[in-house]
Amino acid sequence: MKPLSTLKEGDRGIIVAINNNGTLRRRLLEMGFLKGTEIYVEKYAPLQDPMELILKGYHVSLRVEEAKQVLVELVSEET
């Protein structure tokens, strides 16, 4: 498991947990950041913050500081 913020452009991961119990956790859950959901890192902004993600078929921008709270398991690409 590693923080979502450590993934690079083009990486895929499965959400394992959110390490926050406050309003950030509630907001992320409302946006679809649920355990077991696959997430794709589309790109980073030019200054590396925020990051653009694809989650359940839609694009979401998330600050890197917030992405540190989301733990993911990296999905290896099958070739």
**Domains observed in the chain:** 2-75 (2.30.30.90)
Identify the band that residue 77 occupies on the pLDDT scale cut at 50, 70 and 90. Answer: low
pLDDT tens digit string along 18-70? 998 889 999 999 999 999 999 999 999 998 889 999 999 999 999 999 999 99
Which residues, 6 or more positions from 70, have their beta carbon under 8 angstroms from its beta carbon?
3, 4, 5, 15, 17, 18, 19, 28, 33
Identify the band that residue 76 occupies on the pLDDT scale cut at 50, 70 and 90. Answer: confident
Record the pTM.
Answer: 0.85
Which residues, 6 or more positions from 42, have their beta carbon under 8 angstroms from its beta carbon?
9, 52, 53, 54, 59
